[in-house]
Amino acid sequence: MKFNEGMLREGALKDKNILVTGGGTGLGRSMGEYFLKLGANVVISSRKLDVLEATAKDMADKNGGKVIPLACDVREIEQVEAMWEKAKSELGEIHVVLNNAAGNFISPTERLSANAFNTVLDIVLKGTSQVTLTAGKDWIARKRPGTFLNIVTTYAWTGSGYVVPSAAAKAGVLAMTRSLAVEWAKYGIRSNAIAPGPFPTEGAWSRLLPGDLVKKFDPAKKVPVGRVGEHQELANLAAYLVSDFSAYVNGEVITIDGGEWLKGAGEFNNLDQIPSELWDMMEVSRGKKH
Ligand code: COA
């Protein structure tokens, strides 16, 4: 058994219809594809219908099952509501919403225009709240249970320079996850979140760290387990959290980052840069014999 193999049993998501926002590329696609392999039907949405259609065909050809591509800019409530209705009319019901769509700019904050700041807030916080409200209201009105899984980030609670609108928005999404986990549990609606560390994707990484920057700031170097994440590892966790196996998990945020954020937090963690010989010398100098 390897860490990058599918974890759940075949058919674990059978009879589940799952909406994945931002599902056309990157991590959203990887998670959606694994849901499909486990027997779910999937709706993938983003702004780019051509990308979605190509992805949907590829996913369905490889794995079987139904993949419905629906164009939607999560910032526009009319588009969100139309997507929700269309998704239901295609599949009969949607049981799970994976709020994965996001946008981010790496920039000194003082260089961001008001519109740039708002753009990230709108995609991440407003987009997630609009999809959540649309799905939640509908589930509650029709007395249907449902499951939300929201993708956040570890800097939702630590904060982070150079991605301030994203940090502020993801902190809001995390607060919403925990709040609704309590408020909507009585309707049979669970809410959980995943905070992934570095999981390389084509799009986000080349956009966020263009050219040689990605080498200079190699994220693997910051991760105690010494590597970045593989998509299947994230997909395994996501599949568990949207499956009925996690029925008692509610209001949780699960970090999957190889220990990255804690490494930055612990006062003495960078002492891993001290070589063994130096530790030996320090022991000798305080009188320990070798
Ligand atoms: N750094 C700083 N500001 C930026 C920027 C960057 N890299 N890219 C765009 N902006 C600014 C624009 O200048 C504009 O502000 P202005 O009107 O004051 O000039 C504002 O942000 C909106 O830009 P625009 O290109 O009109 O936004 P959009 O709505 O078309 O697209 C995104 C915004 C985020 C969806 C788009 O940049 C995108 O597709 N990004 C890739 C998705 C992504 O970030 N994924 C990572 C997930 S973590």
Higher pLDDT, 287 or 99: 99
Ligand 1 pocket: which of 99, 106, 119 to mutate (most atoms within 8 A of CB): 119
Domain assignment present for residue 5? The answer is: no
Domain ranges, residue 174: 17-286
Domain assignment present for residue 32? The answer is: yes
pLDDT for the residue numbered 46: 98
103 Cβ closer than 6 Å to some ligand 1 atom? yes
CATH number (domain holding residue 185) = 3.40.50.720
- What is the tens place of the pLDDT at every residue in 118-175? 999 999 999 999 999 999 999 999 999 999 999 999 999 999 999 999 999 999 999 9
Domain assignment present for residue 279? The answer is: yes
199 Cβ closer than 6 Å to some ligand 1 atom? no
> What is the pLDDT of the chain when averaged over all its residues?
95
Paired tokens of 118 = 């708002």
- What is the tens place of the pLDDT at every residue in 73-122? 999 999 999 999 999 999 999 999 999 999 999 999 999 999 999 999 99
pLDDT(211) > 80: no
Domain assignment present for residue 53? The answer is: yes
| Long-range contacts of 82-90, Cβ-Cβ distance < 8 Å, separation of 24 or more | 83/43, 83/45, 84/19, 84/131, 84/134, 84/135, 84/138, 87/17, 87/19, 87/43, 88/138, 90/43, 90/66
Please name the residue that has the structure tokens 């993938």.
Answer: 44
Domain assignment present for residue 8? The answer is: no
pLDDT for the residue numbered 270: 87
**258 within 8 A of 225, measured Cβ to Cβ:** yes
Q: Which residues pair with 193 in a beta bridge?
A: 150, 253
201 Cα: distance to centroid of ligand 1 (angstroms): 18
Q: How many domains does the chain have?
A: 1
Domain assignment present for residue 239? The answer is: yes
Domain assignment present for residue 52? The answer is: yes
51 Cβ closer than 6 Å to some ligand 1 atom? no
pLDDT(206) > 80: no
Nearest atom within ligand 1 for CA of residue 75: 29
In the chain, the N- to C-terminal Cα span, in Å, equals 41
User: Sorting pLDDT into bands at 50, 70 and 90, what band is 290?
Assistant: low
**114 within 8 A of 121, measured Cβ to Cβ:** no
